[in-house]
């Protein structure tokens, strides 16, 4: 544990102290007159989403509507609070699995995508149990782990949803991802992606806090975290422990109480 803390301190120090090891992605396309950033975004391979698959996975924010409204409110609150603080990197985590982290992260990303003046990047870092590829209905050819290790360029791995959302997904579960999440190389790759693609917001779909050290290892790389708890499943002491742990490493932006059953409505049905 002491070793982990020392590594975390070192990594945090170097995040604030040194310049990232910039790796310039190849620009494969670009119309004249476009800025370099526009050309880089346009060059990402497009991902066409399948409406029934989105619906099956409760992704409801592609278009405005009743179902999208709670996520739209969350999106706006999160974005304004982050902008006020000058924060760009948002972690989504929870005390235990199956709380709705990935559902929330993907809905936020798709909702942000409707804001045409904003660019967002979502990264699936729940490396032991990745699911963003299922929610978006596509398994990438290479995994986000290959991007973080520097083996593959983000430009060649990430996919673009519409014009302004990029997603980097895991392919298969990784049995021992803590090293990747803790590594200084990973921090540098993320710095480099941010510096190159200049997103307004980066969303990190992280693992749950109470099951292993993965999230603790990574939180040094984010500005703030949203905690997703599941009604009638997450216990108060789990939430309390999780919140304290997160607050040791980053700013707690807020808590999403997911899957609340509207008792008045369910009684009348």
In terms of CB distance, is 187 or 202 closer to ligand ADP? 202
Those residues with Cβ within 8 angstroms of residue 151's Cβ, 6 or more apart along the chain or in another chain? 142
In terms of CB distance, is 23 or 128 closer to ligand ADP? 128
Residues 104-133 that bind Mg ion (CB under 5 A): 126, 131
Using alpha carbons only, give the angle 94, 58, 253 rounded to the nearest 5 degrees: 35
In terms of CB distance, is 94 or 164 closer to ligand ADP? 94
Nearest distance from residue 121's CB to ligand ADP, in Å?
18
In terms of CB distance, is 40 or 209 closer to ligand ADP? 209
Q: Which does 250 bind (CB under 5 to 8 A by kind): Mg ion, ligand ADP, none?
A: none
Which of 99, 102, 157, 180 is in the footprint of Mg ion by CB under 5 A? 102
Nearest distance from residue 1's CB to ligand ADP, in Å?
25
> DSSP letters of 193-254?
HHHHH--SEEEEE---TTT-SHHHHHGGG-SEEEEEEETTTS-HHHHHHHHHHHHHHSEEEE
In terms of CB distance, is 11 or 59 closer to ligand ADP? 59
Long-range contacts of 150-157 (CB under 8 A, 24+ apart): 150/23, 150/185, 150/189, 153/23, 153/25, 153/26, 154/25, 154/189, 154/192, 154/193, 154/196, 154/197, 155/25, 155/26, 155/27, 155/28, 155/40, 155/43, 155/44, 156/25, 156/26
Nearest distance from residue 243's CB to ligand ADP, in Å?
16
Count of residues that bind Mg ion according to CB under 5 A: 4
Distance CA(129)–CA(111), nearest Å, equals: 24
Q: Which residues bind ligand ADP (CB under 6 A)?
A: 57-58, 94, 97-103, 131, 258-259
Q: Which does 162 bind (CB under 5 to 8 A by kind): ligand ADP, Mg ion, none?
A: none
Residue closest to Mg ion when measured from CB atoms: 102
Distance CA(181)–CA(216), nearest Å, equals: 9
Nearest distance from residue 101's CB to Mg ion, in Å?
5
In terms of CB distance, is 102 or 221 closer to ligand ADP? 102
- Which residues contact Mg ion by CB under 5 A? 101-102, 126, 131
């Amino acid at each position: 544990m002491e070793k982990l803390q020392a590594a975390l301190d070192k990594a945090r120090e170097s995040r604030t102290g040194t310049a990232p090891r910039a790796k310039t992605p190849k620009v494969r396309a670009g119309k004249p007159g476009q800025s370099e950033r526009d050309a880089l975004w346009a060059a990402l391979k497009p991902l066409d989403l399948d409406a029934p698959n989105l619906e099956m996975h409760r992704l409801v924010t592609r278009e405005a509507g009743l179902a999208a409204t709670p996520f739209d409110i969350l999106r706006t609150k999160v974005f304004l609070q982050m902008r006020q603080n000058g924060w760009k990197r948002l972690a989504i985590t929870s005390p235990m699995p199956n709380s709705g982290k990935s559902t929330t992260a993907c809905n936020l990303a798709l909702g942000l995508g409707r804001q045409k003046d904003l660019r967002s990047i979502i990264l699936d870092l729940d490396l032991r149990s990745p699911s963003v590829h299922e929610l978006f209905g596509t398994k990438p050819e290479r995994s986000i782990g290959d991007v973080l290790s520097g083996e593959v360029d983000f430009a060649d791995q990430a996919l673009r949803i519409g014009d302004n959302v990029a997603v980097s997904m895991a392919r298969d579960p990784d049995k021992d991802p803590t090293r990747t999440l803790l590594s200084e190389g990973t921090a540098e790759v993320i710095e480099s992606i941010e510096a190159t693609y200049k997103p307004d917001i980066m969303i990190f779909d992280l693992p749950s806090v109470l099951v292993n050290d993965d999230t603790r290892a990574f939180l040094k790389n984010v500005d703030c975290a949203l905690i997703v708890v599941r009604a009638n499943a997450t216990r108060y002491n789990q939430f309390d422990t999780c919140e304290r742990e997160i607050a040791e490493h980053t700013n707690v932006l807020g808590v999403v109480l997911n899957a609340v059953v509207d008792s008045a409505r369910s009684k009348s049905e």
